[in-house]
Amino acid sequence: MKQCLYCPEEPRSEEHPLPAAFGEFTNAPTLKDRICGQCNSKRIGLLDEQYVRCGPEGLLREKFGIEGRDHHKKVNPFYRGSAGGHRIEFLAWDDALQCEVNVELLGGDQGRQLCELILTEKSAGTPPHHIALKPKMTADELLKIVAGLKLKGELESRITFDPVTEQWAPELIRKAWPVSSMSEGVLGATKFQGGVAKFQVTNRYYRAIAKIGFHYFLTQFPKYTGHEAIFSDIRNFIIDDSKELVPARVNQFIGVRPYPLPLPMCDPRIRPKGWIGHLICAEIREGVCLAHYEPFISSEGRLRARTIFLGRDHMANEYAIQAHLHRYFEYGKQGRFSGEALIVLPRGLNLVPTHLDPEIVVAPPIESAVKSNQ
């Protein structure tokens, strides 16, 4: 009997190396009958949930208006996190209110201010605290969040909300602080010039990246089952759900490439216009099994290109490479499909061996001299 890559159960599922929350693509390679249903939907699914909602990819997913399968639960990543990751904070300066506010992206260059409570400690000199307000939030829940901030001294408070669609927000504040009073509202800014995005993720985010590379590699080189001893370390990394984020452990498997994976992206003068896609590559070079992954490539820019170390096969003496570009349709979904997966030939790739930067950069400890009185 076949066995799941991550547990003793029988594998009877079809897994998408590229998370389905990024959409379905025609002709996309899938990993069939290597993972059991429980691992696919729960253990591996948790990795995908955090990855597509809590990191930079989650921000671009909202910017480009990308939706997953119709039956997937819709989650607003600017109001809540997923699978242990924090919600996305996109802060912009509001000239009318003279403070930073959180903005949620609505697709393209459109956005709106979050419904939130902004608390500032007047004497502390610390950045304001932004608390997202949600329709089903209770006064007790709000008070618990504020208590957890352990604020001291005099506070300045602001609430931002849409008076038409979020009439519940002032009432929530009154229930939490019955003796409080609100001054007359001020219309906020209608345009913002740039902003700063903040992300807070756990090891699940990085394990999702490793999973994408490993599973894609197995779809392209079927001579490997994934159970081989050479892959034991990457399997353990993907499935080990320990809470502690260990940078050295992440950097052992994931490195950042200094240049884009597709050659046309290396020169801004010849970048293709008007398309968005995700590129995944699988490579065997000098006995080393590798995957390369660059999400959200577009004419507007790019995220990190990463190399994922999967294992070392001392018996492999060939050089082989396979790659797919998951490219979105220009005019939106066609039926249930968001785009098509296109085979990319090696001559279109920039895979020259290069120095890899660590995925997580750890600041060196600060040394201080201590004088002894003795």
> What is the rounded CA–CA span in Å between residue 367 and residue 372?
16
pLDDT at 352: 85
Query: Taking the domains of the chain in order of start, what are their residue ranges?
Result: 89-198, 201-352
pLDDT for residue 268 is more than 60 = no
Contacts of 360 (CB under 8 A, 6+ apart): 206, 247, 250, 251
When pLDDT is averaged across residues 323-331 and rounded to a whole number, the result is 92
pLDDT in tens, 17-72: 999 999 999 999 999 999 999 999 889 999 999 999 999 999 999 999 898 776 56
pLDDT of 120 strictly over 70: yes
Question: Does 365 have pLDDT greater than 70?
Answer: no
How many angstroms separate the CA atoms of 103 and 95, rounded?
Answer: 14
What percent of the residues of the chain are helix, what percent strand, and what percent coil, each to the nearest 5?
25, 25, 50
Output the CA–CA distances (angstroms, integers) from residue 58 to 80, 87, 104, in the order listed.
12, 10, 12
Tens digit of each residue's pLDDT (9 = 90 or more) over 121-160: 887 678 899 999 999 999 999 999 999 999 887 888 999 9
pLDDT of residue 73: 65
Mean pLDDT of the chain: 89
Position 238 confidence tier, pLDDT thresholds 50, 70, 90:
very high
Token pair, residue 273, equals 């216009």
